[in-house]
Chain A
Amino acid sequence: MLLMPRAVLVLLGLVGIAGGAAATDDPGKATAPRTEFVPPAPGSYTLQRIQRVRDAVLLDSTGRTVKLSALTQGKITLLTFFYTYCVDPLGCPFAHTTLAALRDRVRHDHTLNGRVRFVSVSLDPTHDDPAAIASYAREFTIDPKFEWRFVTARRVTDLLPVLDDFGQDVSVELDENGHATRTVHHMLKMFLIDAHGEVREIYTLSFIQPRMMFNDIKTLALEAG
Chain B
Amino acid sequence: MRIRRRLTLSLGIAAAICVFAAATQADETCNSPYMSGLIKGQEDFVHVWTLGVPGMGDGSDKLVTVDANPASKNYGKVIDKVSVGGRGEAHHMGFTDDRKYLWAGGLDDSKIYVFDVGTNPAHPKLVKTIGSLTAKTGYVGPHTFYALPGRMLVGSLSNSADKGGTTGMAVYNNKGEFVAKYDLPTSTIGHVKGDGYGYDIAVNPAKNALLTSSFTGWNNYMRDLGELIKDPEAMKHFGNTMVMWNLKTMQPQQILAVPGAPLEIRWALPAGHDWAITATALTSQLWLIKRDAQGHWAAKDVAAIGDPAKVPLPVDISITADAKGLWVNTFMDGTTHYFDISDPEHPKETYSKHTGAQVNMVSQSWDGKRVYLTSSLLSKWDKKGKDNEQFLRAFHWNGHELTPAFEIDFAKEQLGRPHHMKFSANPTRMASLVSASLR
Partners in one complex: yes
Quick one: which of A5, A90, A163, A178 contacts B20, CB cutoff 8 A?
A90
Question: A50 contacts B20, CB within 8 Å?
Answer: no
Q: Does A33 count as interface, using CB distance less than 8 angstroms?
A: yes
Counting from the closest, the 6 A-B pairs by CB-CB distance are: A24-B41, A85-B16, A30-B22, A86-B18, A23-B425, A126-B7
Interface 1/0s, chain A 169-194, versus B by CB < 8 A?
11111111011111111111101000
Asked if A30 and B10 make an inter-chain contact with CB atoms under 8 angstroms apart, the answer reads: no
Residue of A nearest to B437 (CB): A156
Distance between Cα atoms of A170 and B437 in the complex (Å)? 13
Cα(A187)–Cα(B100), bound, Å:
12
Given contacts A7-B17, A21-B426, A50-B150, 18 further A-B contacts (CB under 8 A): A15-B428, A22-B426, A23-B43, A23-B69, A28-B22, A34-B271, A48-B171, A50-B151, A51-B175, A156-B7, A166-B150, A171-B431, A172-B433, A185-B430, A204-B34, A206-B23, A206-B205, A207-B205
Q: Does A203 contact B (CB under 8 A)?
A: yes
Name the residue on A nearest B248 (C-beta): A40
Residues of B bordering A, CB below 8 Å: 3-4, 7-8, 10-25, 33-34, 36-44, 69, 71-72, 97-98, 100, 148-151, 171, 173-175, 177, 179-180, 205-209, 246, 248-251, 271, 425-434, 436-437, 439
Contacts of B43 in A (CB 8 A): 23
The one of A11, A44, A176, A184 that contacts B249, using a Cβ cutoff of 8 Å: A44
In the assembled complex, the CB of A5 is this many whole angstroms from the nearest CB of chain B, namely: 5
Q: Roughly how many angstroms separate A181 CA and B14 CA in the complex, as a whole number? A: 7
Residue numbers in B under 8 Å from A48 (CB-CB): 151, 171, 179-180
Q: Which of A34-56 contact B (CB under 8 A)?
A: 34-37, 39-40, 44-45, 48-51
Given A24-B39, A28-B22, A44-B249, A172 and B430 contact (CB-CB distance below 8 Å)? yes
Complex contacts, A126 vs chain B, CB 8 Å: 3-4, 7-8, 11-12, 437
B206 to chain A, nearest CB (A): 4
Interface size on A, residues (CB 8 A): 83
Residues in A whose Cβ lies below 8 Å from that of B21? 27-28, 169, 185-187
Quick check: B439 and A174 within 8 Å, CB to CB?
yes
What are 12 sample pairs from A and B whose C-beta atoms fall under 8 A apart? A2-B20, A5-B19, A8-B19, A23-B44, A25-B37, A37-B206, A40-B246, A48-B151, A48-B171, A159-B433, A171-B427, A212-B248
A88 near B: Cβ within 8 Å? yes
- Is A100 an interface position by the 8 A CB rule? no
